[in-house]
């Protein structure tokens, strides 16, 4: 058994993507440093301990999934589809937990942290969608036809709709749609279908807005983007404090563990500072330079994933990598946009940096899958068939 483990680790260090692992670990450690500062006023290291344990577990998951052959796994695609639906529906059982108006968390007895089904389902959704796109290509279906587009778009819309109806979590629901758009675009779908889908979505949102079908708190989060004076002590409170926190840091920041808003325990200080607004914490204590380091690390992770996609030897592997990169791009852009008051607060955390044990483990899971794809490439320099 010990010899087998040594052989697996030796194979991992020889062929897996150690650069990607290093970037993920560096980002997470940086995040833990920020979380320690953001939660210091509580006098409780629980958040740091959980995040550190998630990092250790995430590395193990990364190593394990680097060894997995996705082609074998996807032979059980029906089970994966059933898992996606069942895992989301668990939110409507007594295991479901409502936080901030969204029933987006599961609390299992004996497990000290909550688990967000969306974090896991985003990964399995990418795998299933990549399998669909590969099947269409193998069957020589016309990817520019409406039928092909509807086949995959229906999957994405159905999953997004199910998740939103069950959880009321719009943020993670939109991640599914963004992943679909990116993967379908790379696959070569006709642009007219994207335009039609966007117009349809816009019309549906406009109708829901006019008919006042959207929850009041959700409407307020969009209104405040265009009128920063709207409900400054309610809907606009979080982002107003975020802007104040970011702006007070200047170029070099107020100093680690010395941020006025970050270290304050008063009710008027920065809310959700270790989750949604961790980027603002970096801006206040480490300044613009700290924020640029965060952006650089996340950009490096995304570019590394796209590099693996570019060199992928099969369309399926390319689609998977593009889906994982799309997930990171959307979450990064929306979270930073939330902190800058240009995006609504929709509960999207900053990948690798925000607190969340299940988020960290699933992110390393996603990157482990990418590493497994890279491990099976003859060389990173040879362009793949799909993106050549």
Using a pLDDT cut of 90, give the percent of the chain over it: 59
Average pLDDT for 6-35: 90
d(CA 248, CA 92): 42
Average pLDDT for 4-18: 79
Encode pLDDT of 76-134 as tens digits. 999 999 999 999 999 999 998 887 778 888 988 877 778 889 999 999 999 999 999 99
Contact yes or no for 169/91 (Cβ under 8 A): no
Task: State both tokens at 242.
Answer: 């975020």
Q: DSSP class of residue 16?
A: S
The whole-model pTM stands at 0.92
211 CB burial (10 A radius; 0-12, 13-18, 19+) = exposed
Containing 33, the helix (H) or strand (E) segment is helix 18-38
Contact yes or no for 105/358 (Cβ under 8 A): no
The total of other beta-carbon atoms located within 10 Å of residue 135's CB is 14
- Would the CA dihedral through 84, 364, 108, 277 be positive or negative? negative
The Cα-based distances of 288 to 26, 42, 153, 283, 311 in angstroms read: 19, 26, 39, 6, 34
69: left (phi over 0), alpha (psi -120 to 50) or beta: beta
Contact yes or no for 183/317 (Cβ under 8 A): no
Encode pLDDT of 323-337 as tens digits. 999 999 999 999 999
Confidence check: pLDDT of 382 > 70: no
d(CA 16, CA 376): 9
d(CA 29, CA 381): 30
Task: State both tokens at 139.
Answer: 């069957």
Task: State both tokens at 172.
Answer: 């993670």
Task: State both tokens at 307.
Answer: 């590099």
Name the one residue in this structure whose structure tokens are 């089970």.
79
Looking at the DSSP bridge assignments, the partners of residue 105 are 97
Contact yes or no for 366/327 (Cβ under 8 A): yes
- For position 383, what pLDDT does the model report? 41
d(CA 378, CA 81): 31
φ, ψ dihedrals at 106, nearest 5° = -115, 135
Q: Which of 9-23, 219-233, 302-316, 350-364 has the lowest mean pLDDT?
A: 219-233
Task: State both tokens at 152.
Answer: 């995959």
How many H-runs (helices) and E-runs (strands) does the chain carry? 14, 2
d(CA 97, CA 87): 14
Encode pLDDT of 176-200 as tens digits. 999 999 999 999 888 888 888 888 8
Quickly state the pLDDT bin for 378 (edges 50, 70, 90): low
The Cα-based distances of 309 to 46, 182, 301, 325 in angstroms read: 37, 13, 13, 9
Quickly state the pLDDT bin for 380 (edges 50, 70, 90): very low
Beta carbons within 8 Å of 371's beta carbon, 6+ residues apart: 16, 17, 20, 21, 62, 65, 66
- For position 387, what pLDDT does the model report? 47
Confidence check: pLDDT of 151 > 50: yes
Quickly state the pLDDT bin for 281 (edges 50, 70, 90): very high
Quickly state the pLDDT bin for 385 (edges 50, 70, 90): very low
- For position 386, what pLDDT does the model report? 46
Q: DSSP class of residue 97?
A: E
Task: State both tokens at 68.
Answer: 């997995």
Encode pLDDT of 28-55 as tens digits. 999 999 999 999 998 889 999 999 999 9
Confidence check: pLDDT of 362 > 60: yes
Task: State both tokens at 270.
Answer: 């920065």
The mean of the pLDDT values for the chain is 89
């Amino acid at each position: 058994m010990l010899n087998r483990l040594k052989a697996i680790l030796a194979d991992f260090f020889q062929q897996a993507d150690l650069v990607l692992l290093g970037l993920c670990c560096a980002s997470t450690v940086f995040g833990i440093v920020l979380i320690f500062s953001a939660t210091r006023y509580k006098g409780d290291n629980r958040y740091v301990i959980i995040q550190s344990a998630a990092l250790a577990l995430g590395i193990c998951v990364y190593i394990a999934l680097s060894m997995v052959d996705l082609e074998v796994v996807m032979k059980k695609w029906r089970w994966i589809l059933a898992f996606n639906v069942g895992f989301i529906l668990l939110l409507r059982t007594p295991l479901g937990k409502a936080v901030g108006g969204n029933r987006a968390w599961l609390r299992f007895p004996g497990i000290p942290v909550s688990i967000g089904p969306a974090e896991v389902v985003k990964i399995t959704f990418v795998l299933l969608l990549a399998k669909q796109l590969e099947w269409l290509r193998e069957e020589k279906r016309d990817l520019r036809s409406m039928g092909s587009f509807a086949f995959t778009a229906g999957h994405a819309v159905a999953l997004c709709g199910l998740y939103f109806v069950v959880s009321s979590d719009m943020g993670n629901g939109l991640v599914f749609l963004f992943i679909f758009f990116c993967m379908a675009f790379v696959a070569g779908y006709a642009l007219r279908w994207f335009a039609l889908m966007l117009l349809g979505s816009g019309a549906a949102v406009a109708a829901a807005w006019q008919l006042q079908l959207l929850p009041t708190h959700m409407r307020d989060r969009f209104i405040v983007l265009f009128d920063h004076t709207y409900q400054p002590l309610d809907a606009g409170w979080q982002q107003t404090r975020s802007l104040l926190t970011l702006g007070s840091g200047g170029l070099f920041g107020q100093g680690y563990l010395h941020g006025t808003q970050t270290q304050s325990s008063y009710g008027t200080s920065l809310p959700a500072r270790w989750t949604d607004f961790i980027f603002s914490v970096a801006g206040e204590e480490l300044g613009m330079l700290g924020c640029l380091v965060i952006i650089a690390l996340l950009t490096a992770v995304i570019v590394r994933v796209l590099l693996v996609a570019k060199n992928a030897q099969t369309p399926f592997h390319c689609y998977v990598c593009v889906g994982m990169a799309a997930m990171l791009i959307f979450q990064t852009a929306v979270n930073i946009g939330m902190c800058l008051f240009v995006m609504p607060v929709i509960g999207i955390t900053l990948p690798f940096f925000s607190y969340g044990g299940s988020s960290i483990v699933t992110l390393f899971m996603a990157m482990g899958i990418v590493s497994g794809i890279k491990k099976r490439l003859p060389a990173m320099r040879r362009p793949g068939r799909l993106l050549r």
